A and B are shown apart, each in its own frame.
Chain A
Amino acid sequence: DGGITQSPKYLFRKEGQNVTLSCEQNLNHDAMYWYRQDPGQGLRLIYYSQIVNDFQKGDIAEGYSVSREKKESFPLTVTSAQKNPTAFYLCASTTGAALRTNYGYTFGSGTRLTVV
């Protein structure tokens, strides 16, 4: 079945460490997105990529980095520069064709990152 896989489901990080969250999709979608979710703040866009080897900063990109070397993969690195990384992270993907139907965006099941 097609979908988005985020791993790990739970991740614990010590202060000062970089960690990488995985996002893989087998939907052949062109565009992929990373969102951060905090209680009472909805989802905020970190980075997005609309084609391979290209990506743009979202609204809260500081302290994060991404790469898009393959169409199906869009890993997110939370660096030590991110001062408050504890949050729920969601990955999503879509295509122009999906937007013109009722299918819309596909979301992964999320990674909960906790700094210890």
Chain B
Amino acid sequence: AQSVTQLDSHVSVSEGTPVLLRCNYSSSYSPSLFWYVQHPNKGLQLLLKYTSAATLVKGINGFEAEFKKSETSFHLTKPSAHMSDAAEYFCVVSVPGPLIQGAQKLVFGQGTRLTINP
């Protein structure tokens, strides 16, 4: 079965310092992996996506993630945190659906709340 584990429920960093949000996955397929961000009482916004192309994926707002098959990890990083990065972050793996090829369902990690200190 496919699953995602986000290793930290809360991460706190100072503005201007690096961000690391950790994610491990379990999948019997070659996975598609995503990182989404959610600001309070808002929907989810796609940060980046891995689909078996380059293992280092660059996303929006300076975020990037590296797919490491040997470690079954897909950690999210950013070199320098900004106050606007404070939000909830979700690591997600996609699971093939039963009917239409390519239309899948998502399995979410528990989320990591990122706090930025001035």
Contacts and interface: CB of A to CB of B under 8 A. Distances in A.
Interface of A: 4, 6, 30-31, 33, 35, 40-45, 48, 50-51, 54, 56, 58, 88, 90, 92, 94-97, 99-100, 102-105, 107-110, 112
Given A97-B102, A109-B42, A31 B97 contact: yes
B111 to A, nearest CB: 5
Given A42-B108, A42-B111, A30 B100 contact: yes
Contacts of B108: 35, 42-44
Interface stretch (B12-20, B44-52, B66-74, B78-86): B44-52
B59 to A, nearest CB: 9
Interface residues of B, number: 31
B9 interface: yes
Interface string B76-105: 000000000000001000100111111111
B11 interface: no
Interface in B30-49: 32, 34, 36, 41-46, 48-49
Contact of B97 (A40, A48, A97, A107): A48
B35 to A, nearest CB: 10
Given A90-B44, A104-B46, A107-B44, A45 B106 contact: yes
B41 A110 contact: yes
Given A90-B43, A96-B100, A107-B45, 4 more contacts: A30-B100, A30-B103, A44-B108, A109-B43
A45 B105 CA distance: 8
Contacts of A50: 97-100, 103
B115 interface: no
A76 B99 CA distance: 21
6 contacts: A44-B108, A45-B106, A50-B99, A51-B99, A95-B102, A99-B104
